[in-house]
Structure 1
Amino acid sequence: MANLILKNALDLSDTASQSTIPKDNAKSSSREQGVQPNASRQRFKPQLSCTFCRTRKLKCDRNSPCNNCSKRDLSSSCTYIHNSREKTSKAQKVKDKPKDVQERIQHLEELVVALMSQVKDKTLVPGPTVPPDHQPSIFKGPKPSWPDDATVSESADSIGRISVEDELQNYVGGAHWAAILENIAGLKDSLGSEEWPQGTASGKNKHKGPVLLLGDNRKASRESVLACLPSKPVVDNLIERYFTAIDASFITHTPTFKKEYDEFWDDPNSKSFSWLGYLFAIICLSVNFELRTGDIPIPALSDMAVRDTEQRIRLYREKTVQCLVNSNYTEPGLYTVETLLLYYLSEHFQSKDALFGSWMLFGMIVRAGLRLGMHRDASHYPNISVFRGEMQRRIWAGILIVDIQTSCQVGLPRMVSEEMYDTKAPNNLLDEDLYESMVALPPVRSEDEGSPMSHVLSKYRLLIVFGKIFDASNSITPIQYDEVMRLEKMLLGTREGIPEVYRVGSIKSLDTGPIMLRVRKFSIEMSYLKARCFLHRKFLSEAESLRKHSYSVKACVDSSMLILQYQNYMTIETAMGHSLHAMKWITSSLMTYDFLLAATLLCLYLGQLMAAEEETVDTAFREFPIEWTKEDISHALLKSYQIWNNPEHSSEDTIKFSKVLKAMLNKVDHWSTANKTQTKVSKEITNEANSSNPPNYPASNMYSFPSSDFEENGSKFPTSNIEMIGDILNDPAGLDWNLWDTNFQGSNIYIDAAGSSLFASDLYFPFQAAGLETDMDGS
């Protein structure tokens, strides 16, 4: 049957090539070849009446304009829609016929290929393989082991993912962890659709949405608002916490606010609703931090009617919203954007999952900032004071930082792109350097001093580059690899420019120094690692990319592994009784997203390794230069699984994601068991050699992760025990953790701080793309 179709296609091709034969001969030739004319094609019937006469069913005299249109003064609208068709020459129609025949030939050829593929699949039986010389060239190469929908998942990578659940349609971009999960072969089949994470919290979440958008926002009197204000000692304590422990305080000028704060207590009626909303937003955010850390001043609450912390948060948030409504925030003025930003942060901390409603609220903040002209630098406008211009730069920087972070979290394009603004970055000045009557800015301070603004500027510059990467990942035009490497060099150069005081030499360097400095160093490092994951994550999508773009694969895997190690570190250090417990707020839903992204990328990488081994890929791939073994990666994923299974850290999405991790670890377990069965002798020899000669990693300029970062003692993590993971995870409640600590321990792991110089001498990782030099100094 296939040969007959192919013969007809070839005969038809010969017929089409005879373009000079007479028309009658062509028809007879067509009949002789057994090709029937296309009877379904409808003959074109020109429309002779003008559009107006045809619509009104009038008799048209076919003039231009026609008599009917002329009588009604419609001469300019008298048109004949068939004019363009009439202009088509007979020669053009004849010219189009061979093109139509060629399309039919191509369709027949596609049918031949599809039929041959079906016949091949049906007749495939065990026996000697067909020599390559006897196979059609289109079928050469190893047979893929990915499921049929892998091609769809890969092509959909650039357009994101849409899920429909309970008639709710939810889109996330291709760089979102929930969309990346779709590319892991066979993983979704092992879980039901209800168990599959969607990427944003569903409507079942107890936090329904921002109070400003969905609450009862009737106006309240000044007396009722002031009646809910705590006593001055309590407020004093909350204000102090805001300025000392919350990084968002850089949008508030401390001396000016404290002066206004003292004026308020002297005369509570002297301040506007805008300022009162600002005050309540600060109080609400500070109480939010009290709830997260458990550091609540119980004696100070003894005289308060509302003592429960969560109830206090709801009360202060409600009063913030009432003040915004009374001040008509839709016509923004002084303090409006600042109040909205702080209120948004208090809403953001209500859930460990990404809430789309909060992102919608942030859109209002961006529009308010645009309305006030914060996207244009104040130096353009002489009527804006020097002091106010510098504070606007700080506020706009805060908007840009929150924009990129929250847009990543919900998997949607950011709201502010580079071409929309020309506002300069804020200057590295202390609050004491600024005052309302100043006529010029003083010289900027050195960023090596480690001031709060130097931290903001370091993170701001990283996130500006991250914004370029994020825009490229959301673009409908695929990014070229030369552009990837250009952004990579820009990102590395920006990281090199971070002041030494904020750079992380190793994870152990976070153990020393002031608490706020340690948290800021961690925050900057996480921004850098996440940006690298976004930039290179597309090259984990297929085995061919693993071989062709090995630099990107290594960068993505290294960054993801580091993120999971930071997850483990921060989980331990922010626990009760540890040094960073007061900073537990740092592990918010933003951090949750980073950890989920890293774990998802590592799952995808493991899936590619398994697929590549099933396809028996060439030896160049087997020698892929990544030092992380599948046991190292499985071990890191297992630690993440344990964290997500802890109710203290769990959320709607992480509970579902932990089931994905369990399924992935089970796949790795089965894969490892099968490999050991096939190559038992060679595996035993390799394991014996590794146990006697552990790998010797360079010790200079690298992250060193002692086994205590992962386990309680330093024994080696035995390769042969990886198959135990699946069985243990099947019953996590009955797991004997003492036995676990005895059998599963990690080795020291090292990685280059920038993620690139560890294998600088390796031929697989020359830093060359589109003429880029091997040096990393930006030259």
Structure 2
Amino acid sequence: MVSHNDSDTLWNFMGFVQRTAMGLSLHRDPEPLEGMSPFEKEMRRRLWATIVFLDLHVAIGSGMPTLIRPQDYSTRPPANIDEDQLSVDMVHTPQGAFPEHTTSTFQTRLAEILPDICAIISNINSAAPDLKYKDVLEFDAKLRQSLKASLACVSSRRNPVIGPKSLDRPHIQSSMLQLFVRGVMLALHCHYFMDPEKHPDYQTSYWAVLDCSLAILGQQRQIYDANSSELPTTWFNDINQGSYFIAAAHVTLGIKHGSFLSGPMALIGSSANETAWMLMDSLASISEEDVGRSVEYFKRYSAFYQRYATLQALVNGGDTEQARNDAFEHIIKVVSEKAAELYPSPFYG
């Protein structure tokens, strides 16, 4: 089994997936192919879009180059139609149009921006990245525009009866889209995440990173609050946990430098700083519940919690060395309790 937390192993595994998919010609649009039904053509497009998404997701998490580049495929995005419109016996693929929302809108919208995202990740994760800053800003504007349009489309399908702490399919799609695109934006800007006073030419990236980081942690809290036995969301936070801890690292630096009390963040008052602390507290409590799920999760939680405890001491004028020691003891206590809960034995008792 491949752990969902092990990005490096998943990156290796994606090599097998990518080559198998190309061996099946999924990277070539099936429209010209004779003897293939409309249903099969549509399924091939959907499968390829999923593979490209997974390739990008793993590349972002591992910091490795993408295995699929925009010029490597010609497959068009899936049709924007409801799944119940698909049938093995259909004689043609129904036509869907935006801004109408369907059960396929998430994948269709995502597939449309994947070439741009491929170009971004391929460049910044390469051995010799050469993305100019003007290109960074252009990609940022394009991603924000696409995200805004996609979220508006997805939100139009949300069930108005569903409360803010409940989930429906469009809500899940919206959160997944936001986390993925925000993660790409973090990767796009992180090289220019510098003190805006010392590097004013790159201040747009500094504030973009903090904004995206808060948005990512906010999505985690929303999804966690909406978890239920009818629609469990543990899987959702599992596959996005890497993004949560990366976002937390940036928020930690933002709090340390008082960035949520100044600059663009000051425009919304002290609430930005309060929100940052609230989301860090939230990540700490949510992480403690899942710390026993894997070794990788334990390592991420341990690193995060020590930084988090040190930050609290630093901001409050406490002893940072003592805070680190206390954090270490707390981590051991939490892990021991979780181990005893998951694996009852005399050793943990």
Contact 2:55 2:68 (8 Å CA) reproduced: yes
Aligned pairs (5 A) from 1:194-593: 210=1, 347=2, 351-354=3-6, 356-436=8-88, 438-444=90-96, 448-449=100-101, 451-475=102-126, 476-498=128-150, 500-503=152-155, 511=164, 515-541=168-194, 547-574=200-227, 578=228, 581-588=231-238, 590-593=239-242
Change (3 A) 1:383 1:548: same
Q: What are the Cα deviations for residues 13-36 of structure 1, in whole angstroms up to 9, with x where unaligned? A: xxxxxxxxxxxxxxxxxxxxxxxx
Distance in 2 between the 1:650 and 1:442 partners?
A: 43
Aligned pairs (5 A) from 1:691-730: 726=323, 729=327
Structure 1 CA distance for aligned equivalents of residues 167 and 290 of structure 2: 30
Q: What whole-Å deviation, never above 9, does each CA across 1:594-641 have from its counterpart, x for those lacking one?
A: 11121122234456x28x9xxxxxxxxx95333376665445333322
Mapped contact 1:547–1:624 kept (Cα < 8 A)? no
Q: Do 2:292 and 2:298's aligned partners in 1 also have CA atoms closer than 8 Å?
A: no
Deviations 1:742-770 (A, max 9, x none): xxxxxxxxxxxxxxxxxxxxxxxxxxxxx
> Are residue 660 (structure 1) and residue 321 (structure 2) matched?
no
Matches of 2:91 and 2:118, distance apart in 1: 34
Percent identity, please: 17
* CA–CA distance in structure 2, aligned partners of residues 415 and 631 of structure 1: 40
Report what 1:603 is aligned to: 252
- The 10-residue stretch of structure 1 (550-559 or 725-734) with the greater mean CA deviation from structure 2: 725-734
Pair 472,503 (structure 1): closer, same or farther in 2 beyond 3 Å: farther
Which structure has the bigger radius of gyration?
1
Q: Distance in 1 between matches of 2:21 and 2:245?
A: 32
Q: Partner letter of residue 467 of structure 1?
A: C
Q: Which amino acid aligns with 1:595?
A: Y
Using the size of structure 1 for normalisation, the TM-score is 0.37
Shift of 1:399: 1.1
Q: 1:357 to 1:602 in 2, by over 3 A?
A: same
Distance 1:623 1:637 in 2: 19
1:384 Cα shift? 3.6
Q: How far apart are residue 413 of structure 1 and its match?
A: 1.2
Q: What's the offset of the Cα at 1:569?
A: 3.0
Pairwise mapping of residues 144-159 of structure 1 onto structure 2 (< 5 A)? none
Instruction: Give 1:584's aligned amino acid.
Output: T
Partner of 2:264: 625
Q: Work out whether residues 488 and 532 of structure 1, in 8 Å CA contact, stay in contact via their aligned partners in 2.
A: yes
Question: How many residues get paired?
Answer: 322
Opposite residue 372 of structure 1, the aligned amino acid is L
* Displacement after TM superposition at 1:404 (Å): 0.9
TM-aligned CA distance change 1:461 to 1:408, over 3 Å = same
1:148-187 deviation per Cα after TM superposition (whole angstroms, max 9, x unaligned): xxxxxxxxxxxxxxxxxxxxxxxxxxxxxxxxxxxxxxxx
Go from structure 1 to structure 2 and tell me whether the alpha carbon gap of 1:584 and 1:670 turns closer, same or farther (over 3 Å shift).
closer
Q: Check conservation: 1:644, 1:650, Cα contact below 8 A.
A: no
Report the CA distance shift for 1:647/1:484 in structure 2 as closer, same or farther (over 3 A).
Answer: closer
Deviation at 1:406, TM superposition (A): 1.9
Matches of 1:510 and 1:461, distance apart in 2: 30
What whole-Å deviation, never above 9, does each CA across 1:436-474 have from its counterpart, x for those lacking one?
56554333255524x221122123334443333222321
Q: Given that residues 385 and 439 in structure 1 are in contact (C-alpha distance below 8 angstroms), is that contact kept between their aligned partners in structure 2?
A: yes
Relative distance call for 1:722 and 1:639 in structure 2 (3 A) is: farther
Secondary structure of 2:263 counterpart: coil
Matches within 5 A, 1:38-53: none
Shift in Å, 1:525: 1.8
Pair 1:731–1:365, CA change in 2 (3 A): closer
What's the CA shift for 1:362? Answer: 2.5
Q: 1:673/1:596 Cα in 2 relative to 1: closer, same or farther (>3 Å)?
A: closer
Distance change >3 Å, CA 670–CA 428, structure 1 → 2: closer
Secondary structure of residue in 1 paired with 2:248: helix
Matches of 1:641 and 1:498, distance apart in 2: 31
C-alpha spacing 1:632/1:385, structure 2 compared with 1 (3 Å): closer
Task: Tell me by how many angstroms 1:514 deviates.
Answer: 5.6
Residue matched to 1:314: none
Q: Residue by residue, what CA displacement relative to the aligned partner does 1:290-330 show, whole Å, maximum 9, x if unpaired?
A: xxxxxxxxxxxxxxxxxxxxxxxxxxxxxxxxxxxxxxxxx
Letter in 1 for 2:243: D
The alpha-carbon distance between structure 1 residues 547 and 395, as it changes in their structure 2 partners (threshold 3 A), is: same
> How many angstroms apart in 2 are the aligned matches of 1:636 and 1:432?
39
Q: Give the unaligned 5+ runs of structure 2.
A: 334-349
In 2, Cα distance between the equivalents of 1:431 and 1:660?
Answer: 43
Q: Tell me by how many angstroms 1:416 deviates.
A: 0.7
- Higher fraction of helix: 2
**8 Å contact kept, 1:560–1:598:** yes
Counterparts of 1:499 and 1:566, CA distance in 2: 14
2:347 aligned residue: none
The one-letter code matched in structure 2 to 1:540 is F
2:288 maps to: 645
AA partner of residue 570 (structure 1): I
**By how many angstroms is 1:530 displaced?**
1.4
Contact 1:386 1:441 in 2 (8 A): yes
1:499–1:447 Cα change, 3 Å: farther
Q: Deviations over 1:239-278 (max 9, x none)?
A: xxxxxxxxxxxxxxxxxxxxxxxxxxxxxxxxxxxxxxxx
Instruction: Give 1:11's aligned residue.
Output: none
DSSP 3-state at the match of 1:587: helix
AA aligned opposite 2:251: L
Q: AA paired with 2:131?
A: I
Shift of 1:660: 2.6
Whether the aligned pair in 2 keeps the contact of 1:447 and 1:499 (CA below 8 Å) is no
Q: Distance in 2 between matches of 1:439 and 1:630?
A: 57
**CA RMSD after TM alignment:** 3.7
Match of 2:336 in 1: none
Q: Deviations over 1:512-553 (max 9, x none)?
A: 676323222221221222122122222224566653322221
CA distance in 1 between counterparts of 2:220 and 2:151 reads 24
